[in-house]
Amino acid sequence: MHQWAARAALIGLLSLRQAGVEPHVHSTAAVESGHEMSELWQKPADLAGRNLVVGSTAGVPAPVTDQPMTMLSQKTSGFSAGYDVRDAAGHEWSVKLGDEAQTEVVASRLVWAIGFHQPPTFYVSAWALADGPSPGPQPPARFRPKDDGLDNVGVWSWHHDPFAGTLPYQGLLATMLLLNSTDLKTENNIVYRVNEDGRDEMWYVVRDLGATLGETGVYRPRRNDVDAFEASPFLVSHADDGSLKFGFQGLQRELLRDVDAPALRWMADLFGQLSDRQWHDAFRAGGYDEATASRYITALKDRVAAAASIDPSFDGDDSDYWAGRTFPRVLHAIKQIPHAVGDLFH
């Protein structure tokens, strides 16, 4: 009985979340007392010169891949399979396999480029395990160091954080929409304690960026899919009044209310300063071939241009394409989760 109730509750929650029915975002005009904007974002003084092949890995030793690694544990939950491993140099790594391995590295490079904190990530195309359930050569993976001096002290929420309502916070949300980051869950947002120049600092980080560069949706949308990304609209014209709305259909669509014209232009101004080489370097860091990278970059630049030219009247409160269509939204939500429902009852 309890299992049926839990399943029914989950189905209802998925439907409401797809429909955009969520808690109100707590918004402030300034950073809350006791916090500094630098905990979330620092204006990059060297934006045009940032090395997006290296990104936030500068000074961090790359994984040692010429010898098989020792498996410490295996990830058994979540969208992407993975391991915790130790390489021959004694460094420990969080390893992510599958479609999100490439996208997480690229998205991390781009988010870092415009001034948001990111942990180091490496894309490794060839490596091996010495033990575990499948020893031997392994598929390409994202490697994130576990001994990088970043102390994970908890998570932060999009709905309640010290920066809500500030332009960098809104610009970070705009960046998530730019990348089609479909999985805006609280557990993907990490607070790190970092020791910089002998003093502790806090970093508010959107860490797990793998669910990007594909389509948006609630139940297992395609990520790392250039065809889906190109076909997924960033902004759409509403049939009723011709106004522009976001095409985003991922989790927590209520957050769109915090993305208005100034936020889009702020984000576009920063990305507009990247050179062609920097864009390509970000995708090179993720192991993409030039043809696929070029398609992604063209689509991303089109989105940046649309954000830069957005009408000043664009209002985040009216930015959800499905806003004001409560019953159709619920029906649409139900249609989006048939596979989820099927999985729950098997």
Question: β-strand 92-97 against 82-86: which pairing, if any?
Answer: antiparallel
CA 16 to chain centre: 22
Q: 137 in a domain, yes or no? A: yes
Distances (CA, A) of 11 to 15, 220, 332, 342: 6, 15, 13, 11
pLDDT of residue 151: 94
pLDDT of residue 242: 75
pLDDT of residue 320: 67
Distances (CA, A) of 170 to 25, 283, 324: 12, 25, 23
pLDDT of residue 32: 75
Residue found under tokens 């010290």: 162
pLDDT of residue 10: 45
Query: Can you say whether the dihedral through the CA atoms of 216, 218, 219, 220 is positive or negative?
Result: positive
SS (H, E, C) 114-144: CCECCCCCEEECCEEECCCCCCEEECCEEEE
Q: 308 in a domain, yes or no? A: yes
Buried b (16+ CB within 10 A) or exposed e, 244-253: bbbebbbbbb
Q: Are 334 and 20 in contact (CB under 8 A)?
A: no
Predicted TM-score (pTM) of the model is 0.85
Q: 337 in a domain, yes or no? A: no
Distance of alpha carbon 232 from alpha carbon 216, whole angstroms? 8
Amino acid type, 180: N
Distance of alpha carbon 245 from alpha carbon 223, whole angstroms? 22
| Closest to 244 (Cα-Cα) out of 303, 181, 320 | 320
Q: 11 in a domain, yes or no? A: no
Distance of alpha carbon 285 from alpha carbon 301, whole angstroms? 18
Tens place of pLDDT per residue across the chain (346 aa): 445 544 444 444 444 444 444 444 444 446 777 789 999 999 999 999 999 999 999 999 999 999 999 999 998 877 888 999 999 999 999 999 999 999 999 999 999 999 999 999 999 999 999 999 999 999 999 999 998 789 999 999 999 899 999 999 999 999 999 999 999 999 999 999 998 777 889 999 999 999 999 999 988 899 999 999 999 999 998 767 778 899 999 988 999 999 999 999 999 999 999 999 999 999 999 999 999 999 999 999 999 999 999 999 998 776 665 554 444 444 455 555 555 555 444 4
Amino acid type, 127: W
The DSSP bridge partners found for residue 123 are 142
Q: Are 225 and 179 in contact (CB under 8 A)?
A: no
- Output the CA torsion 234→239→241→245 (10° steps): -20
| 105 phi and psi angles, rounded to 5 deg | -65, -45
Q: Are 91 and 64 in contact (CB under 8 A)?
A: yes
pLDDT of residue 149: 86
pLDDT of residue 104: 98
Range of the domain at 231: 21-321
Q: Is 200 helix (H, G, I), strand (E, B) or coil?
A: strand
pLDDT of residue 219: 85
Amino acid type, 58: A
User: Which residues does 83 contact at the CB level (< 8 Å), separation at least 6?
Assistant: 71, 72, 73, 74, 75, 95, 129, 132
Q: 296 in a domain, yes or no? A: yes
Q: How many domains does the chain fold into?
A: 1
Please state whether 74 falls in left (phi above 0), alpha (psi between -120 and 50) or beta.
beta
Q: Is 155 helix (H, G, I), strand (E, B) or coil?
A: strand
How does DSSP classify residue 68? P
Q: 98 in a domain, yes or no? A: yes
Instruction: Return the H-helix or E-strand segment holding 96.
Output: strand 92-97
The neighbour count for residue 236, using CB atoms within 10 Å, is: 13
Q: 331 in a domain, yes or no? A: no
Query: Can you say whether the dihedral through the CA atoms of 287, 46, 34, 164 is positive or negative?
Result: negative
Q: 342 in a domain, yes or no? A: no
Q: Are 82 and 96 in contact (CB under 8 A)?
A: yes
